[in-house]
Structure 1
């Protein structure tokens, strides 16, 4: 068993292990974990609570005995299932909350098989400290360029096409699993926890080439229920902006494609329109509902932009004192998006 010290977020990619195993309970894993780690708990949530209660309230010795029995059974199950087909030269890296008994016990058993096992020194707490340092204690490392524009100007799609051309980008909405606005959460999906979002974002930042600029989509300091950390938010506020300018009909067509998952579910679309009740009169929302019922989705998208999203964007833009460079396009079809992506990729160098 080898004790592994992680000194930076970027060092995670260079560790010589085939797989990272999170030995903590499912709820701990769900809240946050090292990106890419799989969860093979040595104690589930109920077992962890039971052992902890006995340890504090009854007997440390009894708690240790019970914990050892539960750990042995759970590791045996993992060996018969998730780890059953691993080869002789398998190299897992295991961690728990603080790199102590749970990961150590798991690693000891796997080591007896002959596998070359590593245990992360300090466990998840070490990872968490590195994430906090990257997002709260040091400035954002790269020059930033902001891709701006009204709702429906295909900013995320353009961002991804810039990345495909070799441009350096971070897809904030992709990491947050949210497309922005009240229509942004895909039906049936959930956003990651704030801690998990920070972990994914910090790792993405650590993978950037600090000598090159990075393109980010314009956002508020909140994407759905998740807040942007201060280092990246300050960098975004100070960054120059390039605004995509497209006519309303092209934007409406794009939105009906981009939000086809919501359009396909009448009940979900009705809920999203009703969520705008604090901002618009019942009569206006009734007209939007009628457009949805007759499946005139492009007209509905156009009205939502003209009556709700565009005015909100303009009020936000007035608070900015940064001049925007404007890229005009009459269409948002594939050739037009490729042309915009090529222009932006060239700006990034």
Structure 2
């Protein structure tokens, strides 16, 4: 038979040996939010789950169980084969550690495949995430990368992460770049997924001396950044990037590839058009509609994003935060000078 395992025990177990987490909820539930790193082997697809749920509500528990058994029986060989292909320790879970995960673990046991069931299911895991984000003591000193739109902050952070630096990619976790155009070409995550990814990073880096992340507002798209990280900025360092407008415009074009998302760009611009001087707004709109993206971006920077950044950055630096300004002529130059700034901060912090 299978055994239940609470999330607190499972999270420690995963540090010692590989464990495959298997979400047996429907694909729609899995897509909405799951435990990071999980694989989805659904007991019911979305339509089947809806059907069983309707029977449960309108007829009763026994009828729902009977229909569920009919649905599962038809797909049992393929279902078992998927589990058999997964090596090592396996932990199955559903929404609340109920019938779906119990049925799965029981059937697997009968077939000689040992698994454990996550006690309380995804709901218990989500509760743990929420509690951790509210109570976690996160001590690394923040180094926050700041700069006007198009400064290449994300690219610099990703290069630093590849070198083994402790980097928290907030925009990557949100699936959103933060601006009115920020969701173009991306698949935004919801708050549950963002919280899980952020907590994983916080736990991974909690013993580091420093942690690097990009300056963001409290909200990234529809995501709210928890205070455990957002409020930590007041006790850290800030590196401010300054690059020529043409370099930033070229970076934006590489990031967004607007020629692939013409209508999305036009729709996004329509939401800020009234905030820009009418003749300039008309010129930007004309550029977007005729594929002249470079001048459109430069006009947006000059007449919207740069003034907005100047206003917000003037009040964003909290008392006590130490700022280093990096003036660069290219993306590579900015990256190299940012590395030097980080080394300077480390030297200063260690008293060298």
* TM-score, normalisation: structure 1: 0.87
C-alpha distance after superposition, 1:41-74 (max 9, x if no partner): 2123333343344334434322222223323334
Q: Is the 8 A contact 1:91 1:115 kept in 2?
A: no
**Structure 2 residue aligned with 1:145:** 143
Is residue 266 from structure 1 mapped to residue 255 from structure 2 by the alignment? no
Is residue 244 from structure 1 mapped to residue 241 from structure 2 by the alignment? yes
Q: Which deviates more, 111-120 or 217-226?
A: 111-120
Is residue 22 from structure 1 mapped to residue 23 from structure 2 by the alignment? yes
1:342–1:69 CA distance, 2 compared to 1 (3 A): farther
* Structure-2 separation of matches of 1:167 and 1:28: 34
Given candidates 183, 191, 205, the residue that maps to 1:185 is 183
Superposition deviation, residue 90 in structure 1: 4.5
**Structure 1 residue aligned with 2:312:** 316
**Structure 1 residue aligned with 2:275:** 279
C-alpha distance after superposition, 1:242-285 (max 9, x if no partner): 211222232222222222x2244433332232232241244222
**Structure 2 residue aligned with 1:231:** 228
Superposition deviation, residue 16 in structure 1: 4.0
Unmatched 5+ stretches in structure 1: none
C-alpha distance after superposition, 1:63-120 (max 9, x if no partner): 222223323334433235x446x17x54321111122221111112122332231211
Superposition deviation, residue 151 in structure 1: 0.9
Superposition deviation, residue 21 in structure 1: 0.9
**Structure 1 residue aligned with 2:98:** 100
Superposition deviation, residue 175 in structure 1: 0.7
**Structure 2 residue aligned with 1:176:** 174
Name the SS of the counterpart of 1:105 in structure 2: helix
Superposition deviation, residue 12 in structure 1: 6.5
* Structure-1 separation of matches of 2:309 and 2:191: 26
1:136–1:75 CA distance, 2 compared to 1 (3 A): farther
**Structure 2 residue aligned with 1:66:** 67
Q: Is the 8 A contact 1:161 1:338 kept in 2?
A: no
More helix by share: 2
Q: Is the 8 A contact 2:266 2:289 kept in 1?
A: no
**Structure 1 residue aligned with 2:204:** 207
Unmatched 5+ stretches in structure 2: 348-352
Name the SS of the counterpart of 1:7 in structure 2: helix
- Aligned pairs for 1:113-128 (under 5 A) are 113-128=111-126
Q: Kindly tell me the number of residue pairs found equivalent between the two proteins.
A: 344
Q: Which deviates more, 315-324 or 24-33?
A: 315-324
* Structure-1 separation of matches of 2:288 and 2:211: 38
Q: Is the 8 A contact 1:165 1:345 kept in 2?
A: no
1:15–1:44 CA distance, 2 compared to 1 (3 A): farther
**Structure 2 residue aligned with 1:55:** 56
- Aligned pairs for 1:5-44 (under 5 A) are 5-7=6-8, 11=12, 13-14=14-15, 16-44=17-45
* Structure-1 separation of matches of 2:9 and 2:208: 18
* Aligned-pair Cα RMSD in Å: 2.6
* TM-score, normalisation: structure 2: 0.87
